Structure 1
Amino acid sequence: MIEPLHDLLLNWKVHPSCIETVDSHPNVYKVKNLGKTYYLKKRFNSSVKMLEEEYLLTTYLQESGLTVERPLLTVSHQSYVQQHQDFYSLYPALEGKPVQVYSLASLKKAGTYLFQLHGRLKQYVCKYEVEEWKVDTHLREWIAVQDPTSIEIWGKGFIGRLNEWSFSYSKLPHQLVHSDCHPRNILINEERVTGVIDFERIRKAPRIADIGYFIAGILKDLVQQDKKEHFECIHTFLAGYHFDAALTQDEKRLLPFLVIIFLVQYTFFYNQKGYSHLVSTYIPFINGLVDNGDYERAFQI
């Protein structure tokens, strides 16, 4: 696959000296050319409208003062190259590395950066229609199987609370959100946020959808760590976001269960993939959060 990419990159007048796949991301290629680094991303289930919107949005965000990953234009002034049903976009590498070591300083700054991003996204006017991010849809589908297994029976225990939560959540103001805002998509250098990447999946939802997804990503990574560390990370990240009293009481009330929804979705996904060892770890972990009063208190800032 690497060799045909050389011809593909000519669309950007890039003559690579090195192309390599990125660990855990088989459809992302790291490209080096004349001392510069780029990332070539193969997009599945995308469309011309989605890719054009990504370029318009990231251009707007850069012009408004935020550092974000923006696709380069080809020699024909497009932000993508289409080959059959697949699309490719090329991005200059941004400074920094994905959040992997959760220092409290970096988490607080990541929270503040996300608050600033949401402020810009709220003002942006989309050229094309953007779909709604229905965060509980997949969970309901997984739980509602006809021949329930033990994990579906466990999941049904959340349905009553999920129904009540969904009603209140739907009443929150909706806006444009990143919708893939996990820790790997926020870049850090020496505890300073240097940018946000992967804007292809922008959708509309309450802004706490991004916040909850990021917190669920932290907890997923720290599942083996002490609960005190979990709660400290949650509180610190939210303190960064809430530095200007940003969150409403309703948002803070709904956030803890939103995080649980994302963690339960991860559990069902791992079960679907056959990762039984992860499922056996996540179920007691999630149950422990639900039963721990300190968990919900971590969201009160």
Structure 2
Amino acid sequence: MLELITAFFSEEDAERFKVKKISGSVWVAHGPEGIFYIKRRTEMEFEERLTSYLHERSIRVEMPHPVRHGGNMFWKDGCGYALYACIPGIRPGWEVPIMSAVGNTLAKLHSGFMHFPLEGVKTWDISLHTWEWILQCSHSPDARWARSVVKNFCSPDLEGGKQLVHGDVHPGNLLVDEEGDVGIIDFQRLRVANRMADIAYFCAHLIIHNGISISLITAFLKGYGSESTFREGDGARFMHHLTMFIVQYTFYLRKEPFAALSQLIEVSRAVEDLISPSRNA
């Protein structure tokens, strides 16, 4: 990895780095200038422009470190690599104040995304992917459960209202510092979708790790709502996306269903009471 480190730092500094592989495409590097992450990438121009744009708007995001001889990627054997300075903080815990802070930060991120061009960004085919899982396991009890919850909460027209979204909002891509400020990392899976997709994706992870926790879900949504206004129909759009992700992860992780129909109905009522403009007028 020495050659890769020297693409970003002097040879003298590079020799003092200790590098450890932490996943198939990510390495952590500890050196004299701090902690950095090396990530394999195929393209960086869009991510660099976007993260710079967000940083200018005081949103804490992970940004690529420039290569010594220009650009933001180092190429070796047909693979591209980017270096990122570590954002201070730790992964968020499942606590009400932290959930509120995460929701607030996600709303600020979406606000920044609203004014950024979408050219070249893929659409998030959430329904298509969900039905691929259901049809693949069509004769299993889980498939019957999946059809029942999808029938109650999902409709193709609930994925309308497209904008840029992060596409991978979960605790592993969030960092909270000592002041409670939230940072966001890893913009590799940017997609075009309804903003409720990001919101529901995070809540799906919340349910996977904690079960149905109305207090945590509503704290997260209140944090989001304190920064961004919910619109009529957002409750139904949220439940559509949440149900889709719960179904996907049930099949992907090969677990028992993460939420019964009755539990999702309970979530739906709580969410509708919280974010419906007509009920809060």
Q: Calculate the TM-score normalised by the size of structure 1.
A: 0.82
For residues 197-248 of structure 1, give each alpha carbon's deviation from its aligned partner in whole angstroms, at most 9, with x where no partner exists: 011211111111110011111111113xxx4xx1000000000001156111
What is the letter of the counterpart of residue 252 of structure 1? G
User: 2:130 aligns to what?
Assistant: 139
User: 1:39 aligns to what?
Assistant: 37
Contact kept? 1:97, 1:189, Cα under 8 Å: yes
2:82 aligned to 77, 82, 89, which one? 89
- The size of the alignment, in residue pairs, is 269
User: 1:205 aligns to what?
Assistant: 193
Query: Cα offset for 1:176?
Result: 0.8
Deviates more, 1:176-185 or 1:10-19: 10-19
In 2, distance between residues paired with 1:104 and 1:248? 24
1:114 aligned to 100, 106, 109, which one? 106
Query: CA distance change for structure 1 residues 94 and 202 in 2, over 3 Å: closer, same or farther?
Result: same
1:57 aligns with 2:50: yes
Query: CA distance change for structure 1 residues 122 and 245 in 2, over 3 Å: closer, same or farther?
Result: closer
Query: Cα offset for 1:177?
Result: 0.8
1:73 aligned to 43, 66, 72, which one? 66
Classify the secondary structure of the residue corresponding to 2:20.
strand
Classify the secondary structure of the residue corresponding to 2:60.
coil
Runs of 5+ consecutive residues of structure 1 not aligned to the other structure: 272-278
Query: Cα offset for 1:26?
Result: 3.9
Q: Calculate the TM-score normalised by the size of structure 2.
A: 0.87
Classify the secondary structure of the residue corresponding to 1:116.
helix
Aligned pairs (5 A) from 1:264-275: 264-271=247-254
Query: Cα offset for 1:65?
Result: 1.5
Contact kept? 1:69, 1:196, Cα under 8 Å: yes
1:233 aligned to 206, 216, 219, which one? 216
Aligned pairs (5 A) from 1:1-301: 5-13=1-9, 15=14, 16-22=16-22, 25-43=23-41, 47-48=42-43, 51-99=44-92, 101-126=93-118, 128-145=119-136, 148-161=139-152, 165-170=155-160, 173-190=161-178, 192-223=180-211, 227=212, 230-244=213-227, 246-271=229-254, 279-280=255-256, 283=257, 285-287=258-260, 290-291=262-263, 293-299=265-271, 300-301=273-274
For residues 161-210 of structure 1, give each alpha carbon's deviation from its aligned partner in whole angstroms, at most 9, with x where no partner exists: 46x5222333xx21111111112212112361241101121111111111
Classify the secondary structure of the residue corresponding to 2:183.
strand
In 1, distance between residues paired with 2:135 and 2:47? 34
Query: Cα offset for 1:93?
Result: 0.4
Cα RMSD (Å) of the superposition?
A: 2.1
User: 1:274 aligns to what?
Assistant: none
Contact kept? 1:234, 1:298, Cα under 8 Å: no
Query: CA distance change for structure 1 residues 10 and 168 in 2, over 3 Å: closer, same or farther?
Result: same
Query: Cα offset for 1:159?
Result: 4.7
